[in-house]
Amino acid sequence: MDLEIIAPGVTVWHNSIEYEDAFIPEMWDHRYRVERGSEWRDDGRQDPEKRKYYENRNLPMRVSHTPNGDDWDKDDPYDAFMLDLQDVYLECLVEYGNLYPCLFNDLQWQEAHRLLNYVSGAKMGAHSDNTPGTIKALRSEYTDPVAPTRLLVCITFFSNYVEHDNPGPYEYTGGEVYLPYLDIEYAPQRGDTMMYPANYLYAHGVETVLAGNRIANLTVFNQGDFRRLPYSAPAPLFPSHRGAWVGGNMFVE
């Protein structure tokens, strides 16, 4: 991996993980089908009944990238890939912490992996990842208890950025990451792993994807004890019967 420091606190590791071109869309298709019980459509026009409330208004689609069932399966290629990615994140985390050692005083746990897919037309306005929002449960709404615990955002990009208007099947155009308070715009390339703080100074957004699919894996490193976070039954964010598990919410040694 090759480390690039874009700005204080904003780092990118290039070539952080290797994979075959076709593997990523296959993994996305699989994770989407398992979670939503519906086939993924390449044109992005998914069954509206399968869309979540946070996927409206041209926002990205999201699915869990945690293992199937109660534990990971080393023989499942998607679970194995997630475990390889977790090793990358811990390696990057140690290197990041060596740059900014006070991080280790605050860090306690890590959020579950999830895949994001920005289809053509998808975008996201500037926002902070530790600003609490409203979560809609089956019969209620409540304030997100996780966001205020977030310290460090970590995201790996799986599609290759191109500047021309006719991207190939594993490419995309548009979709640059921007951090307005740092005057940064960055076009993520295949295999980039990016880390930056979750607070308001590092507010960030994603420009409109003009064509192609921009697929990435997101996790966040946090402080506090996720087992004590409040949630609203009957749709808890963190099912208490699971506790911590690899690829899901877990403590960081």
Q: HSE on the CB side for 121, CA within 13 Å?
A: 7
Handedness of CA 243, 247, 248, 252 (dihedral sign): positive
Residue 150's DSSP bridge partners are: 222
Per-residue pLDDT of the chain (253 residues; tens, 9 = 90+): 999 999 999 999 999 999 999 999 999 999 999 888 888 887 666 777 677 766 676 889 899 898 765 567 778 999 999 999 999 999 999 999 999 999 999 999 999 899 999 999 999 999 999 987 776 666 667 677 888 899 999 999 999 999 988 899 899 999 999 999 999 999 999 999 999 999 999 999 999 999 999 999 999 999 988 877 775 443 344 444 345 555 678 888 7
Structure confidence at residue 6 (pLDDT): 96
Residue 247 has a pLDDT of 66
Secondary structure letter of residue 71 according to DSSP: S
Q: What six digits make up the tokens of 183?
A: 């005057």
What pLDDT is stored for residue 253 in this prediction?
78
The pLDDT of residue 184: 96
Q: Which residue has the tokens 């506090």?
A: 224
Q: Which residue has the tokens 């615990």?
A: 149
